[in-house]
């Protein structure tokens, strides 16, 4: 059938209440076909609720969810072109790998021929690189392999949307990194829309091509990983997606001069329309230069209080009198200093005006 829409998933003014609890409020979202979307946010922000409304496990209290241009309100989960991979895989322990993968195909009506079921199950197992594990029992598989069985089972009946609820949470760090690459590759090969729920910003940034940052039931920002990292829409996004340093400042009535706590003036790019008064300047740890001599006009004298050696880079805690504590990440290759700076050393912090983001002060920021 010809496709009805260029959007695979659409939320139109969707609100979901559980009794007196409002889980999500007035969500508007368009996910293009074949996109890899990550719903990212802290615990309780409403990510899973959004995922479950796409899957048909929950219905919106207000508004409409559409899949491929069709309104889904009232359509049960099993009638939607969607499959879901759960955090704990939900595999059948008494079935072998192939039987787990083929399960959904065996339930299809009208029935599929046995040869077709076998062919499709084998194809799905090949896609997740488990072709030679078909007869293994589930308890004989490692955590990462079980994750791949769950994926194979979810793609075997060719859904147009795959929902992934924290699918890598149970894996150790190394395996998780490997699976991030595999999931991304699989999504590109299949060309189907993936919606991933995660509270891990690194996971969202590394895998998705669209990131939806949520807090308290609302969307804070929707954009590419680079957009949300480099141009956070507000202080919440700046803080949640990556680390950030905050400097309290006052925006003077001229609308351009920022006065810092130590009395110095700062040249930074304030957003148009920002009211004079208390503001917060946010700067990424890696956007700050750490040097032994003052460089450029924006340069603050401080003392290193702590260093964390990370191999290819190092993280420094630096106290600047009158301004507070800063976190600075220095890539060792990029450093013009030949050796690591030691705790106790006097240093200078500097940054370019265009890497500093200026947001309204806490009092005028929306609640998170």
Residue ranges binding ligand ATP (CB under 6 A): 18, 21, 23, 41, 43-49, 199
Residue 137 in tokens: 């029992």
CB of 148 to ligand ATP, least distance (A): 23
Nearer to ligand ATP by Cβ, of 48 and 298: the residue is 48
In angstroms, rounded to a whole number, what is the distance separating the alpha carbons of residues 313 and 359? 29
Closer residue to ligand ATP in complex, CB, 45/102: 45
Dist. CA 20–CA 215, nearest whole Å: 18
CB-CB neighbours of 289 under 10 Å:
20
- Looking up tokens 């969500």 gives 27
**Are residues 31 and 85 in contact, defined by beta-carbon separation less than 8 angstroms?**
no
CB of 49 to ligand ATP, least distance (A): 3
User: Running DSSP on this structure, what letter comes out for residue 284?
Assistant: -
Kind and range of the H or E run holding 70: strand 70-71
Q: How far is the CB of 236 from ligand ATP (least distance, A)?
A: 14
Single out the residue of 239, 175, 233, 228 nearest to residue 204, CA to CA: 228
Q: Where are the alpha helices (DSSP H) in 136-281?
A: 143-155, 173-190, 201-207, 225-230, 235-240
Residue (213 or 279) nearer to ligand ATP, CB: 213
Nearest approach, Cβ of residue 72 and ligand ATP (Å): 18
Please identify which residue in the block is written with the tokens 């704990």: 88
Q: How far is the CB of 196 from ligand ATP (least distance, A)?
A: 12
Minimum CB separation of residue 41 from ligand ATP in Å reads 6
**Nearest to ligand ATP of 26, 248 (CB atom):** 26
Q: How many residues does the chain have?
A: 368
Q: b vs e for 216-242, b when ≥16 Cβ sit within 10 Å of the residue's Cβ?
A: bbbbbbbbebeebbeebbbbbbbebbb
Whichever of 194 and 316 has its CB closer to ligand ATP, that residue is 194
DSSP code string of 126-143: HHTT-GGGTT-BGGGS-H
Q: C-beta of 194: minimal distance to ligand ATP in Å?
A: 17
Burial class (CB in 10 A: 0-12, 13-18, 19+), 191: exposed
Q: How far is the CB of 44 from ligand ATP (least distance, A)?
A: 4
When the beta carbons of 18 and 92 are compared against ligand ATP, the nearer one is 18
Q: Choose between 45 and 356: whose C-beta lies nearer to ligand ATP.
A: 45
CB closer to ligand ATP out of 167 and 285: 167
Among residues 207, 214, 210, the alpha carbon closest in space to that of 188 is found at 207
* Min separation Cβ 227 and ligand ATP, Å: 21
Specify the residue, 44 or 223, whose C-beta has the smaller distance to ligand ATP.
44
């Amino acid at each position: 059938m010809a496709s009805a829409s260029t959007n695979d998933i659409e939320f139109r003014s969707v609100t979901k209440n559980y009794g007196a609890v409002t889980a999500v409020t007035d969500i508007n979202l368009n996910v293009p076909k074949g996109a890899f979307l990550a719903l990212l946010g802290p615990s309780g922000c409403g990510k899973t609720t959004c995922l479950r409304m796409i899957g048909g496990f929950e219905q919106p209290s207000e508004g409409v969810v559409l899949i491929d241009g069709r309104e889904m309100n009232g359509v049960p989960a099993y009638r939607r072109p969607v499959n879901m991979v759960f955090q704990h895989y939900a595999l059948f322990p008494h079935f072998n790998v192939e039987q787990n993968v083929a399960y959904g195909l065996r339930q299809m009506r009208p029935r599929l021929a046995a040869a077709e079921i076998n062919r499709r199950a084998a194809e799905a197992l090949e896609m997740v690189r488990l072709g030679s594990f078909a007869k293994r029992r589930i308890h004989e598989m490692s955590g990462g392999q079980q994750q791949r069985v769950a994926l194979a089972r979810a793609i075997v009946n060719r859904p147009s949307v795959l929902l992934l609820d924290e699918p890598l949470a149970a894996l150790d760090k190394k395996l998780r990194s490997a699976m991030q690459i595999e999931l991304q590759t699989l999504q590109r090969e299949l060309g189907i829309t993936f919606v991933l729920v995660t509270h891990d910003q690194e996971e969202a940034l590394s895998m998705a091509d669209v990131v939806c940052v949520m807090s308290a039931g609302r969307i804070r920002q929707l954009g590419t990983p680079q957009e949300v990292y480099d141009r956070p829409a507000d202080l919440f996004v700046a803080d949640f997606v990556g680390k950030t340093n905050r400097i309290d400042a006052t925006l003077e009535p001229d609308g351009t001069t920022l006065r810092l706590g130590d009395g110095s003036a700062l040249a930074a790019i304030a957003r148009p329309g920002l009211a004079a008064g208390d503001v917060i300047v946010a700067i990424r740890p890696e956007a700050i230069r750490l040097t032994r001599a003052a460089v450029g006009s924006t340069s603050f004298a401080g003392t290193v209080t702590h260093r964390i050696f990370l191999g290819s880079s190092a993280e420094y805690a630096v106290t600047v009198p009158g301004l507070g504590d800063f976190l600075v990440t220095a890539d060792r290759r990029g450093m013009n200093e030949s050796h690591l700076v030691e705790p106790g050393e006097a240093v200078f912090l500097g940054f370019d005006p265009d890497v500093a983001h200026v947001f309204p002060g806490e009092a005028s920021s929306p609640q998170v």
